[in-house]
Amino acid sequence: MTEEEFLKRWDGERPMYEAWGKYVAERVTQEIRPRIVPLSTDVFLRLPVKARVKSDGSFLTKAFYRPEKTYVEPFEQITDKVGVRFVVLLPSEMPTVNIAIEECAVWRWEKSTQPPRPTFVYCRHFKDGFGTHRDHISRA
């Protein structure tokens, strides 16, 4: 697949990923609400939740120009086409977000360090003196 073909496919599929990211953001926020009562999600989540798709340049670089990674089928193998960021104040609040994602009945998930072709992946990143922690959950 050439870069031009890659971007053409991405242009065609991007709206689907944007819609999926928006849906995940809204659905997880709904799932968080009953877990944090009496707080509101506006207080618990420190920044507005927003989905973001990979930019053309970032996607092309990852697919074709990263020497440490080579892809046979980059479009299929790159799993982070869309991301949703949930920001909380303390690492101890992350389990609330994790549980909201994991217990949501509209998708199945699995934890792994190398997700197999997921529809979505989430990572949790925070520094607590022991380094950055990262979990991946992928839709099966």
Which CATH number is 28's domain given?
Answer: 3.30.460
Q: What residue has token string 């609040």?
A: 93
Provide the pLDDT for residue 121.
46
Strand boundaries in 3-130, DSSP class E: 50-53, 82-85, 109-111, 121-122
Give 78-118 pLDDT, tens digit per residue: 988 998 999 998 888 999 999 999 999 988 877 666 544 44
State residue 51 phi and psi, 5-degree precision. -90, 150
**Which amino acid type is present at position 76?**
E
Query: Cβ distance 62 to 5 under 8 Å?
Result: no
Q: How many domains does the chain have?
A: 1
What average pLDDT does range 53-79 have in this prediction? 91
For 18-60, the pLDDT digits (tens) are: 999 999 999 999 999 999 999 999 999 999 999 999 999 999 9
Cα-Cα-Cα-Cα dihedral sign, residues 76, 78, 79, 80: negative
User: Where in the sequence is the domain holding 122, given as residue range(s)?
Assistant: 3-139
Model pTM score: 0.75
What pLDDT is recorded for position 112? Answer: 61
Whether the Cβ atoms of residue 43 and residue 93 lie closer than 8 Å to each other = no
